[in-house]
Chains A and B, each alone.
Chain A
Amino acid sequence: MIKIKNLHVEVEGTKILKGIDLDVNAGETHAIMGPNGSGKSTLAQVLAGHEDYEVTQGSVDYLGNDLLDMDVDERACEGVFLAFQYPVELPGVNNTYFLKSALNAHRKYRGESEIDAMDFMELISDKIKLLNLKESLLKRPVNEGFSGGEKKRNEIFQMAVLEPKLALLDETDSGLDIDALRVVSNGVNAMRNEENATIVVTHYQRLLNYIIPDFVHVLVDGKIIRSGNKDLAIELEEKGYDKIIEGIKT
């Protein structure tokens, strides 16, 4: 689905990613783990197309297309979804209306007609149950006055409605209590199938008890220093990042 080759990224002249290689196939879930400042979130943002991140080398092939050549909204319509670490507030913009606009933008991109109002209401009432979100949040402005947990659940709710091919979850577990973590993970798991893929960016192994990855990659100082299966996450949690880094060096 996505092939990242020798990806180098700078932010305001500072090198953050220093040669990332990563292949993710449909049906797979990959976890990117690493200490703070290792470049995990940068990887998620650069794939989504944030313009502050400058790609200086390397390529990203997404379903046979050059991902880096696409604008942010085009990537989104092609099925790339980023669940934000810090979801943005949109005062005055009704959550339902926002979601409908987003869904219709996707449909328009695919050459489909706008969704029927009744069908849309049915769709969101299905999905909202999945995330155990209060219906009242649908009528509120996007993310405004939401608690930290509500914001994160709202991200996954949007993801459930938009049904992306490639989901990027950026520290989705931060700020969630254990119950909310379970709800969010169940939501993500319910969406996993053979057609889509997920990249989970996280600092802690905790989330990976619920969203069980097929592969785990350890990102340190802009490079993937080790890759393995889900057991690597447990090893990391036990030993800490320092030990793993040392192990590599020696």
Chain B
Amino acid sequence: MKQDSETEMLKEYAEQDYKYGFVTDIESETLPPGLNEDVIRFISKKKDEPEWLTDWRLKAYSIWKKMEEPHWANIDYDPIDYQAISYYSAPKNLSDGPKSLDEVDPELIETYNKLGIPLEEQEVLAGVAVDAVFDSMSVATTFRERLAEKGVIFCPISEAVKDHPELVKKYLGSVIPRNDNYFAALNSAVFTDGSFCYIPPGTKCPMELSTYFRINEQNTGQFERTLIIADKGAYVSYLEGCTAPKRDENQLHAAVVELVTLDDAEIKYSTVQNWYPGDKEGKGGIYNFVTKRGACRGNSSKITWTQVETGSSITWKYPSCVLHGDNSKGEFYSVALSALKQQADTGTKMIHIGKNTKSTIISKGISAEKGQNTYRGQVMINKSATGARNYSQCDSLLIGEECGAHTFPYLDIKNKKSHIEHEASTSKIGEDQIYYCKQRGISEEDAINLIVNGFCKEVFKELPMEFAVEAQRLLEVSLEGSVG
């Protein structure tokens, strides 16, 4: 996997360097702060996009201009100045980065070590200029070949625009329209890149699309756009993110992820998010305003969102499912941790339209230190959704005295022949529990990890095995020192 990651990284960088030229003056490749139509045309031109996409972006921009930033979420942050952000900067030349791990913040290295990330991967994550190992190039080629053999298309979305315009045109914005919300509109106008994935009918993607993403993610930047389509009877498991904290100078992130499943298709989308949470006062952390939605268009299709959110200073995220197809299923499994001064307002929407549609929501919120954790969920059962079922379970765990947990479940039931269940609980890690563990010889920190892992078990078991282990370790590292 390590080799894959290095190769892909290098390949990406190599391609970009080629695209923009080695000799180009860096200054001229970065736009000054500000957003207007010229900026959008510039981005579109840089990416060599067809006219329809330029127009699509411009339309999104005009929609965004008329919208207002939403403030209904239970989060508190300084106003964002959208004109102070630069919306395009050329990918950095590798030589700008640190020359070796010695030049990287020791605290970051310590965290990598705690997470057990191999040295070579640490270099990639920290943006160290690594030497090209041409020998491993073949690994990546094999990887792409294996996918291509099955007819799976997996590439940067900018590449898909050129190579598969019919698919992009058909599905882009079809799940999350440009006017869906403020951040989605902004993303539609200025997105720089992201992933595109198409699984042809009857095909089971031959591998977890995780390794690839760990690398690919490096270049996606702050306005990332992902589109995944599983055609009839297709299956794919996709993992986004990385347990390792990454350097990132962009404070605002506004990604859009759209998933589409046709008849009998299934997408499992798993996220592990560990962006910089800011310091103890909550300064400097990432603002993560993400729109993620899947449409189960086909009958008996299924979409599963699994997320482990431990990073960011602000998390605003509601991965949702629109269950159009009869007998389709939507699932949402979430662990969200807010420590330090982090604020997370996260949850899901399950929109039942088709008959006998089913949805499951398991949300586990953990608050520690001064963290504030909010679950916000909506279950909507339309008139047409006869026989629909939903099961929701929202549990909160509090560690310490200064944190908070909030739950806002919205239910909107328009069909009497449906069945919904909701369970919620809030508990605190008690001193008596820690004392009991300690009396059995278990240290305080291990005691907390035991209790937290017990609390998250139902979600972790939905993650691909290796990531479940990593996620568990990530929680342990994130909670370190939060009790005392």
**Residue pair B454, A158 in contact (C-beta under 8 Å):** no
Q: Report the Cα distance A90→B434, complex, angstroms.
A: 10
CB distance from A227 to the nearest CB of B (A): 27
**Residue pair B438, A93 in contact (C-beta under 8 Å):** no
**Residue pair B454, A88 in contact (C-beta under 8 Å):** no
CB distance from A186 to the nearest CB of B (A): 22
**Residue pair A72, B435 in contact (C-beta under 8 Å):** yes
**Residue pair B450, A98 in contact (C-beta under 8 Å):** yes
Interface residues of A in 83-125 (CB under 8 A from B): 84, 87-94, 97-98, 101-102, 105-106, 109
CB distance from B10 to the nearest CB of A (A): 39
Q: Report the Cα distance A221→B446, complex, angstroms.
A: 38
**Residue pair B454, A93 in contact (C-beta under 8 Å):** yes
Which of A48, A90, A97, A98 is close to B439, meaning CB atoms less than 8 Å apart? A48
**Residue pair A82, B439 in contact (C-beta under 8 Å):** yes
**Residue pair B454, A90 in contact (C-beta under 8 Å):** yes
Report which residue of A89, A90, A109, A158 has the largest number of chain B beta carbons within 10 angstroms of its beta carbon.
Answer: A90
**Residue pair B451, A93 in contact (C-beta under 8 Å):** yes
Which of A90, A105, A162 is close to B436, meaning CB atoms less than 8 Å apart? A90
CB distance from A74 to the nearest CB of B (A): 9
Contacts of A50 in B (CB 8 A): 435
Contacts of A73 in B (CB 8 A): 438-439, 441-444
**Given known contacts A88-B432, A90-B433, A101 and B442 CB-to-CB distance under 8 angstroms:** yes
Contacts of B427 in A (CB 8 A): 91
Contacts of A90 in B (CB 8 A): 433, 436-437, 450-451, 454
A31 within 8 A of B: no
CB distance from A43 to the nearest CB of B (A): 15
Contacts of A105 in B (CB 8 A): 440-443, 446
**Residue pair B433, A92 in contact (C-beta under 8 Å):** no
**Residue pair B450, A101 in contact (C-beta under 8 Å):** yes
Contacts of A32 in B (CB 8 A): none
Q: Report the Cα distance A71→B453, complex, angstroms.
A: 24
**Given known contacts A72-B435, A84-B436, A92-B455, A109 and B450 CB-to-CB distance under 8 angstroms:** no
Q: Interface residues of A, CB < 8 Å — how many?
A: 31
**Residue pair A76, B455 in contact (C-beta under 8 Å):** no
Contacts of A84 in B (CB 8 A): 436, 439
B422 within 8 A of A: no
With both beta carbons as reference points, the residue of chain A lying nearest to B449 in the complex is identified as A101
Q: Report the Cα distance A81→B432, complex, angstroms.
A: 16
With both beta carbons as reference points, the residue of chain B lying nearest to A89 in the complex is identified as B433
Report which residue of B440, B444, B453 has the largest number of chain A beta carbons within 10 angstroms of its beta carbon.
Answer: B440
**Residue pair A102, B442 in contact (C-beta under 8 Å):** yes
Contacts of A72 in B (CB 8 A): 435, 438-439
**Residue pair A162, B441 in contact (C-beta under 8 Å):** yes
A149 within 8 A of B: no
A141 within 8 A of B: yes
Interface residues of B in 97-137 (CB under 8 A from A): none
**Residue pair A101, B446 in contact (C-beta under 8 Å):** yes
Interface residues of A in 35-60 (CB under 8 A from B): 48-51
A199 within 8 A of B: no
Contacts of A94 in B (CB 8 A): 454
Q: Report the Cα distance A230→B82, complex, angstroms.
A: 82
Contacts of B443 in A (CB 8 A): 73, 105
CB distance from A9 to the nearest CB of B (A): 17
Contacts of B435 in A (CB 8 A): 50-51, 72, 88
Contacts of A102 in B (CB 8 A): 437, 440-442
Q: Report the Cα distance A50→B435, complex, angstroms.
A: 7
Q: Report the Cα distance A192→B15, complex, angstroms.
A: 73
Since A76-B438, A88-B433, A102-B441 are in contact, a sample of 10 more A-B pairs with Cβ atoms closer than 8 Å, ordered by chain A residue number, is A49-B439, A73-B443, A88-B436, A92-B453, A93-B451, A93-B454, A97-B450, A102-B442, A109-B441, A158-B440
Q: A-B pairs with the 10 shortest C-beta distances?
A: A92-B454, A93-B454, A102-B440, A88-B436, A76-B441, A105-B441, A72-B438, A73-B438, A77-B441, A106-B441
Q: List 13 A-B contacts (CB under 8 A).
A: A49-B439, A71-B438, A76-B440, A77-B441, A87-B436, A88-B432, A90-B450, A90-B454, A93-B450, A93-B451, A105-B442, A109-B441, A158-B440
Name A's B-contacting residues (CB within 8 A): 48-51, 71-73, 75-77, 81-82, 84, 87-94, 97-98, 101-102, 105-106, 109, 141, 158, 162
